């Protein structure tokens, strides 16, 4: 299996990359500042370029994308567009490109988070995009052709990034390895249109 991990130096993507690299011979890690496989998911042509550089991929996992952390009272329209352009449209763009280039029966796995359905102060803009991605995956997975699957992993806060013994959005942070198991399930199962919640 030939797999691309986007966000491969991050808290989540870095560990996915490390873990899959041990199990599969062809795993490629990409992110904006990579010298080997640069990609910016907010830029369609950058996504196209990487898929052309890495033809015949079987799977892509995205763990990149951001949004603005601010209380509702301070969020401006411009602030919302940060998340819409990055975490939301970045992942939608990725699906649009990946569905053309992936091998038959290929797998696309996106990342959202607990904030899609649980409240945390200063995280309204993240909740907005996470929820939109869930709706997108739910609908778009029905229209993918050639057996291509589309799923999303919604992890809780990752322990280490957030204090382990302090609740985030009502739940204690999870160990990164728990999240990795879920990405692997999305990768290797035959499930599509699923929101894999881990919190």
Contact residues for ligand NAP (CB under 6 A)? 6-13, 31-33, 39-42, 63-65, 86-87, 90, 111, 113, 155, 157-158, 161-162
Which of residues 162 and 172 has its CB atom nearest to ligand NAP in the complex? 162
Which of residues 40 and 109 has its CB atom nearest to ligand NAP in the complex? 40
Q: How far is the CB of 140 from ligand NAP (least distance, A)?
A: 18
What are the CA-CA distances from residue 115 to residues 8, 165, 187 (Å)? 22, 18, 23
Provide the token pair at 89: 């449209």
Q: How far is the CB of 147 from ligand NAP (least distance, A)?
A: 26
Helix, strand and coil in the chain, % to nearest 5 = 45, 20, 35
Which of residues 106 and 155 has its CB atom nearest to ligand NAP in the complex? 155
Task: Identify each DSSP E strand in 31-115 by its residue range.
Answer: 59-62, 107-111
Which residue minimizes CB distance to ligand NAP? 10
Q: How far is the CB of 63 from ligand NAP (least distance, A)?
A: 4
CA gap 174, 165 in Å, rounded: 10
Q: How far is the CB of 59 from ligand NAP (least distance, A)?
A: 17
Q: How far is the CB of 171 from ligand NAP (least distance, A)?
A: 11
Which of residues 11 and 103 has its CB atom nearest to ligand NAP in the complex? 11
CA gap 172, 101 in Å, rounded: 38
Which of residues 11 and 44 has its CB atom nearest to ligand NAP in the complex? 11
3 state SS of 181: helix
CA gap 151, 24 in Å, rounded: 20
Question: Max Cα separation, the chain?
Answer: 49
3 state SS of 141: helix
């Amino acid at each position: 299996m030939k797999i691309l991990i986007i966000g491969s130096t991050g808290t989540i993507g870095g560990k996915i990359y490390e873990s899959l690299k041990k199990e599969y011979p062809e795993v490629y890690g990409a992110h904006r500042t990579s010298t080997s496989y640069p990609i910016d998911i907010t830029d369609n042509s950058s996504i196209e370029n990487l898929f052309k550089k890495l033809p015949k991929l079987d799977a892509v996992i995205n763990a990149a994308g951001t949004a603005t952390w601010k209380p509702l009272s301070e969020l401006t329209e411009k602030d919302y567009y940060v998340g819409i352009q990055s975490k939301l449209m970045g992942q939608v763009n990725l699906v649009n490109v990946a569905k053309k280039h992936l091998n038959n029966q290929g797998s696309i796995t996106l990342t959202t988070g607990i904030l899609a359905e649980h409240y945390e102060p200063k995280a309204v803009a993240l909740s907005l995009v996470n929820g939109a991605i869930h709706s997108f995956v739910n609908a778009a997975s029905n229209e993918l052709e050639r057996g291509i699957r589309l799923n999303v992993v919604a992890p809780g806060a990752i322990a280490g990034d957030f204090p382990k013994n302090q609740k985030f959005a009502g739940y204690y942070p999870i160990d990164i390895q728990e999240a990795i198991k879920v990405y692997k399930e999305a990768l290797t199962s035959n499930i599509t249109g699923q929101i894999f919640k881990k919190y």
